[in-house]
Amino acid sequence: MNFDFSDDQKQLRDEARRFLTEKCPPKAVRAVIDGKAPYDRELWKGLADMGFLGVAIPEAFGGSGAGHLELCVIAEEMGRALAPVPFSSTVYLAAEALLLAGSDAQKQKWLPAIAQGNAVGTLALFEGSGNPSPKAIKLTAANGVLNGTKKPVADGAIADFAIVAARTGSTGRDTDIALYLVDLTSEGVEAKALTSIDPSRNQAEISFKNVKAELLGAANEGWSILSQVLDRAAVLIGFEQVGGSDRALEMGRDYALDRIAFGRQIGSFQAVKHMLADMYVSATLARSNCYYGAWALSTNASELPEAAAAARISATQAFQHCSKNNIQVHGGMGFTWEFDCHLYYRRSNAVAVGLGSLSYWEDQLIERMRQKNAA
Amino acid sequence: MNFDDTPQEAAFRAEAKAWIAANAPKQYEDELKKAALGRIQLKSANILEVAKAWQKKKADAGWAVPHWPKDYGGRGASPIERVIWQQEEGVFGKLGALFIIGHGMCGPTMMAYAAEEHKRQYLPPLASGEKIWCQLFSEPAGGSDVAGLRTRAEKDGDDWVINGQKIWTSGAHYSDYGILITRTDPTVPKHKGLTMFFLDMKSPGVEVKPIKQANGQAEFNEVYFTDVRIPDAQRLGAVGDGWNVSLTTLMNERMAIGANVATGFPELFEFCNSLMLDDGPAIDDPAVRSRLANWAVRASGLRYTSFRAISALSRGERPGPENSIGKLVAGAMLQDIATYALDLQGAAGVLNGPEDAEVAGKFQAMLLRSPATRVEGGTDEILRNIIAERVLGLPGDIRVDKDVPFNKIPTKGR
Amino acid sequence: MNFDDTPQEAEFRAIARKWIDANAPKHLEAELTKPSAKRASEKRDAMLDVAKAWQKKKADAGWACLHWPKEYGGRGSTPIERVIWQQEEGVYDKLARPFAIGQGMCGPTVMAYASEDQKRKYLPPLASGEKVWCQLFSEPAGGSDVAGLRTRAEKDGDDWIVNGQKIWTSGAHYSDYGILITRTDPNVPKHKGLTMFFLDMKSEGVEVKPIKQANGMQEFNEVFFTNVRIPDSQRLGAVGDGWNVSLTTLMNERMSIGSRVATGFPELFEYCSNLMIEDGLAIDDPNVRSKLAGWAVKNSGLKYTSYRSISALSKGERPGPENSIGKLVSGMMMQDIAMFAADLQGASGALVGADAEAAGEFQATILGSPSMRIAGGTDEILRNIIAERVLGLPGDIRVDKDVPFNKVPTKGR
């Protein structure tokens, strides 16, 4: 059994960590939070130069073709550094959708641009409150023309193109939903930035008024493609959450070692120690579940849907658990704007719902396990 | 990243698989599959005899305790081969429960501290299951605080004379030998006055009494020592060095990697899959799903954590104390899952036993046994300390008993 | 067992109700009834003037700090009358927030330790809200470990000269006075070298800086002291007895009974009752119901625990430290409830403010709730209080108890 990343992949992780430690310190995250820029353009360019944006994009489309395991280790570092760039929307959602369902021309147009850092993409799925569901999609597509509104769209106000989920019929079946590829500079597109619990990442509302768009994949397969994209993104975002969990745990551990109260390191009090041990347990379970998701993703295994849901739930729980108790270990100082604890707390709560919430994935996991069991 | 064996591992697995297929006691397979927590019983046969027979058969073919040296009854297998053997042995591994303490703890301690002739004399029959060993550490006065023990050993000529009481000794009533930690000097600080021995459990003055547990079973014993004589030749390690010797034993206890920890999740999933509620199958109910999903990811998280440890073994690395999470997570899960299964059964959840209760009383048995899982072999609190201290590097608890002579440490809280 | 007033209590309630009915600022009722996140934030500061006006009106009619003696601005009411007043005052009680620390903590300390002249001078305007007080205890080096404080006070003639820094001071920027605990002798063990004072917050050398919190708000301050002179006559208690004096203050902090703790449950229940999810109303979903029920019983458990305390007060008994459970339970509950509400909103749960569902009330709670588990006693300290003072378990082992303060380590590594 070799249920671990290879030495080369670990080296890539170290390289990504070194790069992000230098180029993406908390100061860089705060610059975006303070509204100095909608995202860190310089970092984005740097990620492209390092080859990180195209790591899972085949060479034929301008990437390095390394693969999804490599993307997983980079994702972990992106989460750890809270990188304020549209990485997840562009790389896990848009690029994955293109790779799964794009025509050769569509891939040629957008994938090299993504790899070079010249195009930001996203997925426009949600229409207000609620979880992924074909029923919730009201935006219409008729003869390649889109009308409707998407909200929230991650990185929607900075994206160059979006994969838009649209309704083409009203039979009540999944086949009513098609995916469209939309150049967001098209006429009739209007994006408005929204305020987010995690201002280090952009959120937007995008309205489409008679916007011409091209189909991505077969018209009746939109929902099926989308489900696959969400599963793949669940694993990748899971790694971001694992990276964030580990960092929050480390911050708490370090503070517990440094801080003295009642003449002792606060980490010598069992109340604090056991809180940190429990955070470690969550983070470890999440990491192991995500490794399994990584294996399923990289081998296109039939276990992917179940593995992705487990990775998603476990990683969401771990990141929320670690980030909230990191504040608790820090006490009042952890609740100041000045300390970085809240950056992780904000991110953990934003990513917890960004791809469909915990309740949604809980339901998905058990449904998928039941189907497997019945088969 | 893959789940494949290396060529050597695959060859070893094939050999193991073929031998097991030809030799395992298949007639008990179904019963063993269903056996969950606590002591295993077989309907049609005496478990002790079946287990001893299987162990002897394995020993004759060189499969007993594969990771021990050949000289002592093993086959010199690598750690990863040991794991592969466990995977292949599957449910028949449950028959090894009787020998776990002897093989997992007593054996390694003997191997590290006994004289060569003792090793050659005692280890092979321990490996083959012909002799069963128990471990005599816990005492009424020392639970998590193992070193708080009070059983006295006093030198008398070439012998030591033992007086005192041990508790929570698994299998003492059918054990042939035991390793025993005693206090030989109560005037020095507590970790410094201990000495380890091994002894014949049939020695005069040894009395074994079963403990009736909260769940009605009796898996453990109290063992009383009245003027029991042990030759000095059966001392393990130096006089006063018993604490260090015991650490060898305890470390081995926590190094069992790859063994599947029971979480109760597969049982609950199966139960919910077949249970009909008011509005349909339980598994379709959103509240049930939410609970199941939370336990599912903990069970899979543990499973893949052990896969990661196995992979480390396969690379020749030594997995660390992070494996303490297994029992910590699983213990609480068993209890919560059992409670929830009873909840789903409604008022019928109160019924117990294979005849009266739902699904043969599986969850009632789990509910009643699970509190012990959170205590035995390291309480939840001790395991959190291990994680906090040895994995995260946090300081140890402040100790008020460290430099105090043992006989000056208070013994009563109030 | 019943929920009825005794005849005396009923009479008191009728008088209070009548007066409130005739005098309360009813035009603010709707605004005050909203959960705080929904209240327009620009109105928060303007609220100070409104609050002062209402407090003054109450004082003039003898309804301010009613459990205080009359000569100090109160009405000499019994503890149960105080609770009845709070119940009747209802949402207008929220206006008293700027005075909570002064009347709840500073006032009792001044009452216990100041000279009679000072009490007659300072307490009535504190009761009437004309003067606002703050409490200067916490320091960067001493959070849960209050006695680890390092602000120095050195005697100079009839004055003391104070240098140092306080933190987490609510309302320091609009306070007129403060009570201040300082270290007057660093050579003795930490609890023994402390001395308490009160001071004019406009004194020379006092500088107040707001703290920006994790949720972006500014409710607290840092207060810096540079050669601030305090006359010895403003000392509260003996030199070196500051720790005992501070306990008077802190006990009063935890004695506020009957005031309702916010748990977030009523808001969540209302939200789920109206929210349409995919298959219908959220409240019809078994998973939502299971979660709601878990919180519902915690919420009602807290409510009825406070009723039991009120009944004890009514019988003239003194409720004990078991009231610490309120904040412990409600702090974690607020956080969990808010996260669940965001979960129900799906991806929109990441939005805040006007862009968010339900005016962002749950997101505001996600961001604000971590402080609920820390301020005024962390969850861990509250569990210690329950374990030690209610259950009688021993305290943590103290390594700093008999060590001179300047020998206690200050850095973990």
The domain locations on chain A are: 7-118, 122-217, 223-374
Alpha-carbon span C367 to A324, nearest angstrom? 10
> For position C31, what pLDDT does the model report?
82
**CA proximity to A267, closest of A283, A281, A282, A251:** A251
Residues B260-283 pLDDT 10s: 688 999 999 999 999 998 889 999
Q: Identify which of B285, B289, B398 has the shortest CB distance to residue C399.
A: B398
> For position C45, what pLDDT does the model report?
60
Strand B206-211, strand B159-170: pairing: unpaired
- Which of C28 and C131 is assigned the larger pLDDT? C131
Positive or negative torsion for Cα B179, B184, B186, B191? negative
Q: Do A198 and C350 touch (CB under 8 A)?
A: yes
Q: Identify which of A264, A352, A359 has the shortest CB distance to residue C287.
A: A359
Q: Do B286 and C399 touch (CB under 8 A)?
A: no
Q: Do A262 and C354 touch (CB under 8 A)?
A: no
The predicted model gives C57-83 an average pLDDT of 92
**CA proximity to B49, closest of B33, B28, B68:** B28
Whether the ω angle into residue A58 lies within 30 degrees of 0, i.e. cis, is no
Interface probe, candidates A127, A150, A192, A335, chain C, greatest C C-beta count within 10 A:
A335
Give the CATH number of domain A223-374.
1.20.140.10
> For position B252, what pLDDT does the model report?
63
Domain ranges of chain C: 7-127, 133-247, 257-377
CA closest to A263 among chain B residues:
B398
Strand A121-124, strand A161-167: pairing: parallel
Domain ranges of chain B: 7-127, 133-243, 257-378
> For position C345, what pLDDT does the model report?
95
Q: In CATH, which of 1.10.10.60, 3.40.50.1220, 1.20.140.10, 1.50.40.10 is domain B257-378?
A: 1.20.140.10
**CA proximity to A94, closest of A225, A242, A256, A265:** A225
HSE of C303 in the Cβ direction (CA atoms, 13 Å)?
Answer: 10
Shortest CA gap B5–chain A (Å): 5
Using a CB-CB cut-off of 8 Å, the residues of chain C touching B398 are 397, 399
pLDDT in tens, chain A (375 residues): 889 999 999 999 999 999 999 999 999 999 999 998 999 999 999 999 999 999 999 999 999 999 999 999 999 999 999 999 999 999 999 999 999 999 999 999 999 999 999 999 999 999 999 999 999 999 999 999 999 999 999 999 999 999 999 999 999 999 999 999 999 999 999 999 999 999 999 999 999 999 999 999 999 999 999 999 999 999 999 999 999 999 999 999 999 999 999 889 999 999 999 999 999 999 999 999 999 999 999 999 999 999 999 999 999 999 999 999 999 999 999 999 999 999 999 999 999 999 999 999 999 999 999 998 888
- Which of C78 and A191 is assigned the larger pLDDT? A191
Is residue C110 classed exposed, middle or buried when 0-12, 13-18 and 19+ CB atoms within 10 A define those classes? buried
Written as one letter, the residue type at B153 is A
Give the CATH number of domain A7-118.
1.10.540.10
Q: Is the pLDDT of residue C256 over 60?
A: no
Q: In CATH, which of 3.40.190.10, 2.120.10.30, 3.40.50.300, 2.40.110.10 is domain A122-217?
A: 2.40.110.10
**What percent of chain B is modeled with pLDDT above 90?**
61
> For position B55, what pLDDT does the model report?
96
C 348-367 near A (Cβ less than 8 A): 348-357, 363, 366-367
Those residues whose C-beta lies under 8 Å from the C-beta of residue A237, and which sit 6 or more positions away, are A75, A88, A92, A312, A315, A351, A354, A355
Using a CB-CB cut-off of 8 Å, the residues of chain A touching B293 are 309, 313, 361-363, 365-366
Mean pLDDT of chain B: 90
- The answer, for A149 touching chain C at a CB cutoff of 8 Å, is no
Q: Do A369 and B269 touch (CB under 8 A)?
A: yes
What residues are paired with B170 via a beta bridge?
B220
CA closest to A69 among chain B residues:
B1
The predicted model gives C189-193 an average pLDDT of 91
Those residues whose C-beta lies under 8 Å from the C-beta of residue A236, and which sit 6 or more positions away, are A68, A71, A72, A75, A88, A91, A92, A297
Using a CB-CB cut-off of 8 Å, the residues of chain C touching B288 are 286
- The answer, for C161 touching chain A at a CB cutoff of 8 Å, is no
Q: Identify which of A128, A131, A262 has the shortest CB distance to residue C400.
A: A262
- The answer, for B286 touching chain C at a CB cutoff of 8 Å, is yes
The predicted model gives C88-111 an average pLDDT of 91
Same fold, A7-118 and A223-374: no
Alpha-carbon span B162 to B152, nearest angstrom? 6
Class of domain C257-377: mainly alpha
Token representation of residue B328: 């910590």
Under the banding of pLDDT at 50, 70 and 90, the label for residue B31 is confident
What residues are paired with C199 via a beta bridge?
C178
HSE of C25 in the Cβ direction (CA atoms, 13 Å)?
Answer: 21
Residues B329-374 pLDDT 10s: 999 999 999 999 999 998 889 888 888 888 888 999 899 888 988 8
**Beta strands of B122-278 (E only): which ranges?**
133-136, 152-156, 159-170, 177-183, 194-200, 206-211, 220-231, 235-236, 276-277
Q: Identify which of B285, B398, B400 has the shortest CB distance to residue C286.
A: B285
- The answer, for B118 touching chain A at a CB cutoff of 8 Å, is no
Q: Is C199 helix (H, G, I), strand (E, B) or coil?
A: strand
> For position B36, what pLDDT does the model report?
61
Q: Identify which of B314, B391, B393 has the shortest CB distance to residue A2.
A: B314
Those residues whose C-beta lies under 8 Å from the C-beta of residue A109, and which sit 6 or more positions away, are none
Interface probe, candidates A123, A192, A264, chain C, greatest C C-beta count within 10 A:
A264
Answer yes or no: CATH 1.10.645.10 is held by domain B133-243. Answer: no
> For position B264, what pLDDT does the model report?
93
Could you tell me which residues of chain C have a Cβ less than 8 Å from any Cβ in chain B?
A: 285-290, 397, 399
CA closest to B80 among chain A residues:
A1
Give the CATH number of domain C133-247.
2.40.110.10
Q: In CATH, which of 3.40.50.300, 3.40.1440.60, 1.10.540.10, 1.10.10.10 is domain C7-127?
A: 1.10.540.10
Token representation of residue A326: 């990191």
Same fold, B133-243 and B257-378: no
Alpha-carbon span C56 to C58, nearest angstrom? 5
Q: Is the pLDDT of residue C40 over 60?
A: no
The predicted model gives C305-315 an average pLDDT of 81
The model carries a pTM of 0.90
Under the banding of pLDDT at 50, 70 and 90, the label for residue C42 is very low
Using a CB-CB cut-off of 8 Å, the residues of chain B touching A4 are 1, 308, 311-312, 315
> For position B324, what pLDDT does the model report?
77
HSE of B131 in the Cβ direction (CA atoms, 13 Å)?
Answer: 18
Fold category of B7-127 in CATH:
Butyryl-Coa Dehydrogenase, subunit A; domain 1 (1.10.540)
Those residues whose C-beta lies under 8 Å from the C-beta of residue C326, and which sit 6 or more positions away, are C261, C302, C305, C306
Q: Identify which of A284, A286, A291 has the shortest CB distance to residue B322.
A: A284
> For position C260, what pLDDT does the model report?
66
- The answer, for A131 touching chain B at a CB cutoff of 8 Å, is no
